[in-house]
Amino acid sequence: MTPERFRAWRKSLGLKQKEAADRLGLKKRMIQYYEKGRRDGKSVVVPKTVRLACWALTNGVDDFDGTGPTAPVAAETQAAQAE
């Protein structure tokens, strides 16, 4: 996720930087780093966990406790269970 896409994601939800930080469980400063793409002259990449959290928030998932629908069982496993 590029800094521009991260900023666009935040704005698409109508969130201020502080609000995005609160929803993602981050400090506002990290949101600023992700939007600039740099911290102390070094490149900053939005971590996969944050990208997944952005996707979840976009899709109405505000929190996840590990319960809920399970992943589909592979076809091989289904065939073995049927025997």
Q: Which domain holds residue 23?
A: 3-58
The model's pTM is 0.76
Specify if 14 maps to a domain.
yes
Specify if 7 maps to a domain.
yes
Look up residue 13 and give its two tokens.
């939800």
Decide the pairing of beta strands 42-43 and 38-39.
antiparallel
Specify if 52 maps to a domain.
yes
Q: What is the pLDDT of residue 70?
A: 55
Total count of domains within the chain? 1
Specify if 74 maps to a domain.
no
Specify if 79 maps to a domain.
no
pLDDT in tens, the chain (83 residues): 999 999 999 999 999 999 999 999 999 999 999 999 999 999 999 999 999 999 999 999 888 888 876 555 555 554 555 55
Specify if 9 maps to a domain.
yes
Specify if 13 maps to a domain.
yes
What are the φ and ψ backbone dihedral angles of 67, each rounded to 5 degrees? -105, 165
Whichever domain contains 22, its CATH number is 1.10.260.40
Q: What is the pLDDT of residue 34?
A: 98
CA distances from 25 to 7, 39, 61 (A): 17, 19, 14
Lookup result for tokens 């996840």: 64
